Structure 1
Amino acid sequence: MRQVTKLAAVTLVGALALTATACGGSSSSSKSSGDKGVGLAFDVGGRGDNSFNDASYAGMQKAMDEFHIKGKSLTPREGESEDDKVQRLVQLAKEGYNPVVGVGVVYSGAVKKVSQQFPKTSFAVIDAADNKGPNIANLVFTEEQSSYLVGVAAALQTKTNTVGFIGGVKFPLIQKFEAGFVQGVHDTNPKVKVLVKYLASPPNFSKGFGDPTEGANAAKGQLDSKADVIYSAAGASGDGAIKVISQSGKTAWAIGVDKDQYKQPSLAPYKKIILTSAMKDAEGAVYNFVKSVVKDKKPQVGVVPHSLSDGGVDYAKSNPTLTDNKAAVDKIEAAKKKIINGEIKVRTTP
């Protein structure tokens, strides 16, 4: 997900201070109403994670460029409280940003509270589906479906009949990734063993999603246990896993998450071992939400789902090691069709 030496520094900066990134010359002066542009509150790790946050920021940037609006993004601190998240959203709304997007389920409660204080501002929270309100959109994804597909790829690629899953934090969202991956592996080859390792439990999200060293240690342990394909759903921590796999000297593969990590510039030194990635289109979700507010004037509200059927999730086809294997791609594509038509029901819990 990130080149560890650089990304650890990025994570440290984000952990030590609340960082505001003003885009397009947006002002920092406070005001209680107005449509200055789009406001974005990052999840743990902030920009530079080659994953979830970067994808959300790309959606924001695309909307800014296309609709000629300004924007502002804010990064969390390590170990912050719920009140910190609330104040971050309040700051964006007070300064006149509309809409305001909370990146990650950690903003669920904060969005619920702040949306009531600013009824004329549209809010979205990514990965939470339980917020009800006339000005809240819940942008959700069927991550278990894309995880199933990379599970098929892992089962077809392994030579040791052992693969690994590394989850950032053990809570329902990431367990969806685990459930889909394990099902995809076992539906393809029941003899393949799946090693599962979580880096942290709530509320320790920084350790789970923002610590490449933890990801590296987990991957090393799975490599030592003969795993030769490892799927990390761990944000920035997964970058450490990718680096360790690349430098292990073993014939082993990484599977990325959220974005096509084979294409991420900071992961270029390791891309040859990134077999595929379980992608979710946070970029498109953020862009479409902003569009609904600033252009269409019909803000998305309620639960807004994204799945295989609409391209909201998918698997990456950039690494020739996978794409040149026609038999493997045919099997993955067959599974994809069966999920879309309902023939395969993918579990959401392990």
Structure 2
Amino acid sequence: MKKLLYLLTLSSFLLSSTFLAPGAQAATKLKVGIAYDIGGPGDKSLNDSASAGLTRSKKAFSISTVEVTATVGTPAERETRLRFLLAQGCNPIIVIGYRYAETLKKIAAENPNVSFAIVNNATVDLLNVASLVFGTNQSAYLAGAAASLASKTGKIGYIGSANPPAFDSQESGFVAGVKATNSNASLSIKYLQDPSSFSGYSDPTEAKAVAMAMIASGVDVIYSAADGSTAGTLAAITGKKAWMIGSDSDQYLMASASQRKNILSSTIKRVDIAVYDFISTSVQGSTVNDVLDSQAGIYGRLYNLKASGVELAYSGGFLNSYKSKLNTIKSGIASGKIVVPTDGFVK
């Protein structure tokens, strides 16, 4: 009953003045607002990928854009950024990162005729908010399998930004992939900060220290799921007899020639596709509203392996000898034969 009521209300929302008929919408130039998380474009992570999706959209559609970036990451600052986009007349508005969730819930409730999307979060249960989330537990599982296949010592490391166990499914997916491939492998798991701090998302100095300690203990493959801190992991591992697996974007393509020698792979989160999809549907006078959790009233889209929303990079060719095995695992995950553990949509 709740689902039916929600869908009826959603239908009414789509017919409201917020969303014009496709012809009328095409005649009205959209002003798209985007609020990046800490680090902004140039972070070699989610913000960069979101920026790529925005750039693609600008080439494909007649839209204008306004871009802002969180710098200190406080709720007050995030609210200021979103209110600035509203004052500029932006509709739709896209926010990058789960840390915007509470602020977005407040702002979106106050502005029901503005369409919003949030990347990496599925907790905002409002009609005008689309949750764009990723099956990164699945790509992390592939990364774990790759790490086990490539490791010579059987000692594997995982570095995360912060330790919020309520939603971090990258760790659980990675550990499962490692153990399913080599049950004798040992794991060293370290987080840079606890959830109360934002510094772990952009602390390459700490990431470098953690990675160096891991390498000294015999770890020869490190999965760095550490957002903007990953540069520190790469700095520690460059020139050593060890590998790094990056996250979110293909780190190999953004690295120097000397750094590339130590980048085994990366898990890729196609935020660019999600941003483009959302803008594309807005241009057509609609929104992204797949069912994510009908009981909680969460709608948007899940980008997993089956939907080509996450993937494992093969740049550099270092995984080519394992590609057949990894493709078999990938097919098993996509088909549901391999069930990957998860603690949520967000990471």
Report TM bin, short chain. 0.7 to 0.9
C-alpha separation between the residues in 2 aligned to 1:271 and 1:66?
A: 33
Q: Establish whether residue 276 from structure 1 lines up as the match of residue 269 from structure 2.
A: no
Q: Once the 2 structures are TM-superposed, how far is the Cα of residue 251 of structure 1 from its aligned partner?
A: 1.3
Question: 1:184 aligns to what?
Answer: 177
Q: Report the counterpart of residue 306 of structure 1 in structure 2.
A: 303
- Going from structure 1 to structure 2, the CA distance change for 1:349 and 1:138 (only over 3 Å counts) comes to closer
Letter aligned with residue 330 of structure 1:
S
**CA-atom RMSD, angstroms?**
1.6
Amino acid at match of 2:241: T
* Residue identity in the other structure for 2:179: H
Structure 1 outlier segments of 4+, above 3 Å: 266-269
Q: Give me the whole-angstrom Cα distance separating, in 2, the residues matched to 1:226 and 1:71.
A: 48
- 1:140 match: secondary structure: strand
Matches of 1:180 and 1:169, distance apart in 2:
16
- The superposition leaves residues 30-64 of structure 1 with CA deviations (integer Å, 9 ceiling, x where unpaired) of xxxx9652111111211111111100111111111
Residue type at the aligned position of 2:127: P
SS of 2:218's partner is coil
Change (3 A) 1:144 1:156: same
2:275 is matched with 286
Gap runs ≥5 in structure 2 = 1-27, 290-298
CA distance in 2, matches of 1:134, 1:260: 34
2:334 is aligned with 1:344:
no
Q: Secondary structure at the match of 1:54?
A: helix
Q: What is the Cα deviation at residue 72 of structure 1?
A: 1.7
CA offsets, 1:5-44, max 9 Å, x none? xxxxxxxxxxxxxxxxxxxxxxxxxxxxx96521111112
Deviation by residue 1:304-324 (Cα, 9 ceiling, x = unmatched):
11100010011001121212x
Partner residue in 2 for 1:31: none
Match of 1:214 in 2: 206
The aligned counterpart of 2:234 is 242
What is the match of residue 13 of structure 1? none
Could you list the runs of 5+ residues in structure 1 that have no partner in the other structure?
1-33
Conserved in 2, the CA contact under 8 Å of 1:35 and 1:98? Answer: no
User: Compared with structure 1, are the counterparts of its residues 268 and 232 closer, same or farther at alpha carbon in structure 2 (3 Å cutoff)?
Assistant: same
Give the Å deviation of 1:81: 2.3
Q: Match of 2:42, SS?
A: coil
Distance in structure 2 (CA, Å) of the matches to 1:174 and 1:255: 21
**2: CA distance between counterparts of 1:60 and 1:118?**
23
Structure 1 residue 272: deviation in Å? 1.9
Aligned amino acid, residue 230 of structure 1? I
Identity %: 37
Deviations 1:49-100 (A, max 9, x none): 111110011111111121131112111122x421221221111022111111
Match of 1:254 among 234, 244, 260: 244
Q: Is the 8 A contact 2:140 2:171 kept in 1?
A: yes
Q: Cα distance, 1:203 vs. partner?
A: 2.4
TM-score by length of 2: 0.85
Query: Match of 1:15?
Result: none
Does the aligned pair in 2 maintain the 1:36–1:96 contact within 8 Å?
no
Distance change in 2, residues 1:35/1:202 (3 Å): farther
Offset at residue 173 of structure 1 (A): 7.1
Match of 1:297 among 279, 285, 288: 285
Take 2:343 and 2:212, find their aligned partners in 1: how far apart are those partners?
A: 26
**Per the alignment, in what secondary structure is the counterpart of residue 39 of structure 2?**
coil
Any conservation in 1 of the 2:267–2:313 contact (CA below 8 Å)? yes
